Amino acid sequence: MIEYRSIRVGLLGAGSVGSQVARLLLEHADELAQRVGARLDLVGIAVRNLDAKRDTDLPAELLTTDAESLILGSDVVIELMGGIEPARTLVLQAIASGADVVTGNKALLASHGPELYAAAEQVGAQLSYEAAVAGAIPIIRPLRESLAGDRVERILGIVNGTTNFILDRMDQTGASLEDALATATELGYAEADPTADIGGYDAAQKAAILASLAFHTSVPVDAVHREGITEVTAAQVESARRAGYVVKLLAICERLIDGETGDEGVSARVYPALVPRSHPLAAVHGANNAVFVEASAAGPLMFYGAGAGGVQTASAVLGDLVAIARRRVSGGPGTAESTHAELPLLPIGRITTRYAITLEVTDEPGVLEQVARTFAEHGVSVEQLQQSVPEGSRSATLVIGTHEATESALADTVASLAASPVVASVASVLRVEGAQ
């Protein structure tokens, strides 16, 4: 039997992911020791309440409420508490005490990432966070390491399972947003307070993390344009379906040329968009996640799987832990954060995309011409137009698909259309992503 040295692992948090990490570490201790070349000894689990009910039985002697002492006795600290404080302070303490850190805390990284990376870099500590974006799906390491020699042009991600479940259900059953949300809550996908998910906040945090990695540029969450799914209607989903599209909440990270300055910049944004049914992201059903990456040399890549779940996300945490422990065994620094490019972050007004606009208009001579003129006046080029007139009606529905246009040109067009006497209402404006 080989005598392995010990690497002391301190776990902060024993929620649905933390308790599974602890269970897997204890159950697979021998096998993990062989993979790493050192024993991963779980020396303690810091919790708020020693008597709280947990998903899995954990040895009572490992539980402690003294996170600070646990950190001081750990070589690697796994932070799975969530929230900003006290997680931030404890992670900084761990780094300062010479420990490496694994975290799954997207909110912390999206708001305090640069502070944490700088602290880790200063002392040569490793900071890994595969579990922070898209649960079990390996996407951080592919961006940080596998694609480090390539040039990522664009990422389209379905990174929130709750909203994908809701939109998928609306698409499959014709349900309203409210009914689909109620089902998501019943089945345990949606939180009691679903605001972070349906408001797009969770996806925006993940977009900030992905964009920072993909473009070697610090992208704070405040720079991510965010729209949730709260305004998506059953009628929009149905009309998308008839036109060969599906509505998905996308996190989009894109490298683009700023039309105003001619300089390269970065856009990170979250909104519900129309995706062609032929696109791989259209096949992402239920609460699954997927990240579609377009890299200059590699071409399109798709990463797909479970974006949440205790044991699934624990897999990502353990992957980070094993990688960190192997480095501790073999020596050498970890992967440093790379923000050398520092590209400018472009506001939403500068991005270009295609749009599908639905208008209710009066069915009279000259209406089409006036509508078309409004688009032309704002430099927005129409690609296709469909008109439907319910029998006996004096009003018509126009669905207009545009070529690529800037957000600001589109916003001006929509404002003019809304004010036009021939337009009864602008029923829907959705962006189209992933179309050729």
Cβ-based neighbour number of residue 319 at 10 Å: 18
DSSP state of 249: E
Nearer to ligand HSE, 164 or 212 (CB): 164
Nearer to ligand HSE, 106 or 225 (CB): 106
Give the nearest distance from C-beta 163 to ligand HSE in angstroms.
Answer: 7
Instruction: Give me the 298-327 binding string for ligand HSE, x by CB under 6 A, dash otherwise.
Output: ---------xx-------------------
Give the nearest distance from C-beta 395 to ligand HSE in angstroms.
Answer: 39
Give the nearest distance from C-beta 159 to ligand HSE in angstroms.
Answer: 7
| Residue 202 is a binding residue for ligand HSE (CB under 6 A) | yes
| Residue 105 is a binding residue for ligand HSE (CB under 6 A) | no
Instruction: Give me the 112-151 binding string for ligand HSE, x by CB under 6 A, dash otherwise.
Output: ----------------------------------------
DSSP state of 282: G
Residues 6+ apart with CB under 8 A from 118: none
Strand duo 225-226 + 299-306: pairing: unpaired
Can you tell me which of 162, 267, 315, 397 binds ligand HSE, judged by CB under 6 A? 162
- End-to-end alpha-carbon separation of the chain, Å? 59
**In angstroms, rounded to a whole number, what is the distance separating the alpha carbons of residues 19 and 24?**
9
Q: Is 106 in the active site? A: no
Nearer to ligand HSE, 172 or 312 (CB): 312
Can you tell me which of 41, 197, 254, 407 binds ligand HSE, judged by CB under 6 A? 197
- Kindly state the greatest CA–CA separation across the chain: 89
Q: Which residues pair with 46 in a beta bridge?
A: 12, 64
Select which of 53, 106, 206, 248 is catalytic.
206
Nearer to ligand HSE, 135 or 401 (CB): 135
Give the nearest distance from C-beta 8 to ligand HSE in angstroms.
Answer: 28
Give the nearest distance from C-beta 172 to ligand HSE in angstroms.
Answer: 18
Nearer to ligand HSE, 19 or 162 (CB): 162
**In angstroms, rounded to a whole number, what is the distance separating the alpha carbons of residues 255 and 244?**
27
CA distances to 364, 370, 393, 394, 409 from 421, rounded to whole Å, are 12, 10, 18, 15, 20
User: Judged by CB under 6 A, how many residues of this single chain contact ligand HSE?
Assistant: 7
Judge contact between 274 and 240, C-beta under 8 A.
yes
Q: What are the DSSP calls for 58-80, one per residue?
A: --GGGEES-HHHHHHT-SEEEE-
Show the tokens assigned to 121: 């870099």
Return the active site residues.
Answer: 206
